[in-house]
Amino acid sequence: MARLVFGMNQSLDGYVDHMKFRPDATLFRHFVKETQEQAGSLYGRKIYDIMRYWDDEQPDWDADHREFAAAWCRQTKWVVSRTLTEVGPNAVLVGSDLEGEVRRLKAEVDGEIEVAGPYLARTLTELGLIDEYRIYLHPVVLGAGTPYFAGPRPPLKLIGHDRIGEDVVRLRYVPG
């Protein structure tokens, strides 16, 4: 049975923005390993469009970037969108019955499925389908942007925390 995990980099004031702060080398290696171990990813359209960057190798990539891209390209991606009519390699569009399709995935897939995108996570939270939340807290204040919790914060129970790299703390929560 699959576990849905929503994890993103977050500023101290609760925002996610991949353009305002990026993982250091240690955190990036952590994400490479996680991606290699995941059963797949469930994406909202916006974050899927951003992640398509990894479909085509870039000349300035180092070995870690190439390793992440290979892991990302290899894994199955399920994309939730009302506007896309097609998706890239190793990706599947999720139909109109989001709850039914995600429940089916959880029943049929073994391992961890990453949930990517705060708005998709909000919907899945409302449906009670997310099993774990991972906040990668960075010492940055953005003042505005897309919040990690795009809706009301659900009741959560802290199950773990650890430091990754020089200045990031990973907080792990389960619904509680």
The yes-or-no verdict on residue 18 having pLDDT over 80 is no
Q: Percent of the chain beyond pLDDT 90?
A: 93
CB–CB of 106/78 below 8 Å? no
Q: What pLDDT shows up at residue 65? A: 96
Residues 9, 133: contact at Cβ < 8 Å? no
Q: What is the pLDDT of residue 114?
A: 98
Least confident of 14-18, 37-41, 74-78: 14-18
Q: Give the confidence band of 19 by pLDDT, cuts at 50, 70, 90.
A: confident
- Residue 101 vs residues 6, 10, 54, 106, 169: alpha-carbon distances, Å: 17, 28, 26, 9, 33
CB within 8 A of 33, min separation 6: which ones? none
Average the pLDDT over 29-56 and give the result. 96
| Alpha carbons 90 and 96: distance in angstroms, whole number | 20
* 104 Cα distance to chain centroid: 19
pLDDT bin (cut points 50, 70, 90) of residue 163 is very high
Distance CA 75, CA 3 (A): 16
Q: Which fold has domain 2-175?
A: Dihydrofolate Reductase, subunit A (3.40.430)
pLDDT digits (tens, 9 = 90+) for 20-35: 888 899 999 999 999 9
pLDDT one-digit tens code per residue, 102-159: 999 999 999 999 999 999 999 999 999 999 999 999 999 999 999 999 988 999 999 9
Q: What pLDDT does residue 17 have?
A: 87
What is the SS3 string spanning the chain? CEEEEEEEEECCCCEECCCCCCCCHHHHHHHHHHHHHCCEEEEEHHHHHHHHHHHCCCCCCCHHHHHHHHHHHHCEEEEECCCCCCCCCCEEEECCCHHHHHHHHHHHCCEEEEEECHHHHHHHHHCCCCCEEEEEECCCCCCCCEECCCCCCCCEEEEEEEEECCCEEEEEEEEC
pLDDT tens-digit readout, 62-117: 999 999 999 999 999 999 999 999 999 999 999 899 999 999 999 999 999 999 99
- Average confidence score pLDDT of the chain: 95
* pLDDT given for residue 77 in this prediction: 98
Calpha distance 68→127 (Å, rounded): 31
Q: Which residues contact 61 (CB under 8 A, 6 or more apart)?
A: 69
Residue 57 has pLDDT above 90, yes or no: yes
pTM: 0.94
